[in-house]
Amino acid sequence: MPPDQSSATFSALADPTGRAILARLASGETSVTELAKPFDMTMPAISKHLKVLERAGLISRGREAQWRPCRLEAGPLKDVLDWVEYYRRFWEQLARRISGESCGVTTWRNQ
């Protein structure tokens, strides 16, 4: 079963290594070996991380001689933002609750 786009994106972002790779790519396109340097991890491990980022559409890969430069593709991140924006009112309402206010009564038990 292929996971939907949102799931693939969130899943890729759930990994600190993946997020660190994206952060690095935010400062420009670079090669796989270069990306691997900060991590205490073998190349194949990085390669797999890149594959999940690519499947999620968060990066794309080119070809330049023997290098496969990676570049950030932020499109799916816009979807994440849209998704999370929907819930904005909940944390804003929480902030407002601190300045004292009616909290509403729980009614879930009646039907």
Count of positions on this chain that bind its own copies (CB under 8 A): 41
What whole-number distance in Å separates Cα of residue 108 and Cα of residue 111?
7
The phi and psi torsions of 31 (rounded to 5 degrees) equal -85, 170
DSSP 32: H
Q: How many CA atoms lie within 13 A of 8 on its CB side?
A: 16
Q: How far is the CB of 56 from its own copies (least distance, A)?
A: 10
Beta bridge partners of 60: 71
Q: Which of DNA, its own copies, none is residue 44 near (CB under 5 to 8 Å by kind)? A: DNA
If binding is defined by CB under 7 A, does position 51 make contact with DNA? yes
Judged by beta carbon, residue 2 or residue 100, the one nearer DNA is 2
Q: Which of 68, 39, 37 is nearest to 51 (CA)?
A: 68
Q: Which of its own copies, DNA, none is residue 20 near (CB under 5 to 8 Å by kind)? A: none
Which residue from 26, 65, 95, 103 is in contact with DNA, where contact means CB under 7 A? Answer: 65
Site string for its own copies, 34-73 (x = CB under 8 A): x-----------------------------x--x-x--x-
